[in-house]
Amino acid sequence: MSIRVQHLSYRYPTALPSDPPALVDVSFTIEEGEFVALLGPTGSGKSTLVQHLNGLLRPPPGTVWVFGMDVGRRGTDLSQVRRRVGLVFQYPEYQLFEETVLQDVAFGPRNLGVQEQEALERARRALRRVGLDPDVYGNRSPFELSGGQRRRAALAGVLALESPVLVLDEPTAGLDPRGRQELMELLRELNREGTTVVLVTHSMEEVARVARRALLLSRGRLVADCPVDSLFYDHGDLVRSVGLRVPETVELVQALRRRGAPIQGKPLTPQQAAAAIARWRLGEGPADRTGSRARPGSGQGRQALGRHALRSRPVRPR
């Protein structure tokens, strides 16, 4: 497994005695190659949790393990942890500081002790990855880039670490629809190539589109750990009760079912919902007419079930 969190609790040292703790007895395991969404309303502990995953906040010993390393143990080399878990903060473009884009992206690997030539090579690869040609943008100042390009350059800075786990805190906030789609597509591609992705987001539509498993936090507690389709279809009341919403697509399918429409599966995206509705209206195989058959809604669920069904049950607060 890549990440294991066991009974993690945390209070900010600056918290008043009357303030609730930021994290309360959180436990979960993330396997290599997973795509996990970390959900919860503002203040539920998401950002606090992700900062424990690469040692920015030091957990008590024995509570957070990254590839077998006890992050909280004295003597654990945190640079080894950070090589494995790349963390993309909210609004990461505010942290660009080097004179050129290429130098900025190379900073991370260099800082982890990667040799100069190799660091630059990784930086070039990462820039190509996010759609910025290093020959065009590499020598520019980060401040000459547009907002969307700066976001991508900052993301490249973390990709250049080439870490097996990527944790992103609200990476699409403020991007336009196309920018969001491109970023989601990139994450999906990285995940297909084997990168473990943990995505923190307020957008349930994004979760529906890319993630297979969801962890739901509320007031510092983990209240659900289950496949995304199950979270939205079987635990919608829980999702709403913590202040989040299920995607409009799911609401639509459920409203149709309440009127008696026999729609199969748990479609999450508009495309999946349309395919499921079409199967009901037109009989089997309607999508064949277009040649591009949408993936059946149940497909995602089954994928998630493959690895997690037995262990992943919603965890409710005691």
Q: Which is nearer to another protein, 116 or 176 (CB)?
A: 176
Q: Quick one: tokens of 11?
A: 């209070």
Q: Does 314 bind another protein (CB under 8 A)?
A: no
Q: How far apart are CA 190 and CA 200, in angstroms?
A: 16
Q: Does 49 bind another protein (CB under 8 A)?
A: no
Q: Does 147 bind another protein (CB under 8 A)?
A: yes
Task: Please identify which residue in 238, 256, 309, 315 interacts with another protein, judged by CB under 8 A.
Answer: 256
- Give the 3-state DSSP-derived string for the chain, with helices as H, strands as E and coil as C: CCEEEEEEEECCCCCCCCCCCCEEEEEEEECCCCEEEEECCCCCCHHHHHHHHCCCCCCCCCCEEECCEECCCCCCCHHHHHHHEEEECCCHHHHCCCCCHHHHHHHHHHHCCCCHHHHHHHHHHHHHHCCCCHHHHCCCCHHHCCHHHHHHHHHHHHHCCCCCEEEEECCCCCCCHHHHHHHHHHHHHHHHCCCEEEEECCCHHHHHHHCCEEEEEECCEEEEEEEHHHHHHHCHHHHHHCCCCCCHHHHHHHHHHHCCCCCCCCCCCHHHHHHHHHHHHHCCCHHHHHCCCCCCHHHHHHHHHHHHCCCCCCCCCC
Q: How far is the CB of 293 from another protein (least distance, A)?
A: 10
Strands 196-200 and 165-169 come out as parallel
Q: Which stretch binds another protein (CB under 8 A): 123-131, 220-228, 247-255, 304-312?
A: 247-255
# residues near another protein by CB under 8 A:
46
Q: Does 278 bind another protein (CB under 8 A)?
A: yes
Task: Please identify which residue in 41, 60, 164, 236 interacts with another protein, judged by CB under 8 A.
Answer: 41
Q: Does 12 bind another protein (CB under 8 A)?
A: no
Q: Does 6 bind another protein (CB under 8 A)?
A: no
Q: Does 42 bind another protein (CB under 8 A)?
A: yes
Task: Please identify which residue in 286, 295, 299, 307 interacts with another protein, judged by CB under 8 A.
Answer: 286
Q: Does 244 bind another protein (CB under 8 A)?
A: yes
Q: Which is nearer to another protein, 117 or 146 (CB)?
A: 146
Q: Which stretch binds another protein (CB under 8 A): 96-104, 185-193, 217-225, 256-264?
A: 256-264
Q: Does 33 bind another protein (CB under 8 A)?
A: no
Q: Which is nearer to another protein, 148 or 314 (CB)?
A: 148
Q: Quick one: tokens of 103?
A: 């130098």
Q: Does 117 bind another protein (CB under 8 A)?
A: no
Write down the residue that tokens 């930086």 correspond to: 123
Widest pairwise Cα distance in the chain: 64
Spatial contact of 35 and 14, defined as CB atoms under 8 Å apart = no
Q: Which is nearer to another protein, 51 or 201 (CB)?
A: 201
Interface characters, 152-181, with another protein (x: CB under 8 A): ------------------x--xxxxxxxx-
Contact residues for 302 (Cβ-Cβ < 8 A; gap 6+): none
Q: How far is the CB of 95 from another protein (least distance, A)?
A: 16
Q: Does 18 bind another protein (CB under 8 A)?
A: no
Q: Which is nearer to another protein, 16 or 310 (CB)?
A: 16
Query: What are the residues binding another protein (CB under 8 A)?
Result: 41-43, 146-148, 170, 173-180, 202, 204-205, 243-245, 247-249, 251-252, 255-256, 259-262, 270-271, 273-275, 277-278, 281-282, 286-287, 289-290, 294
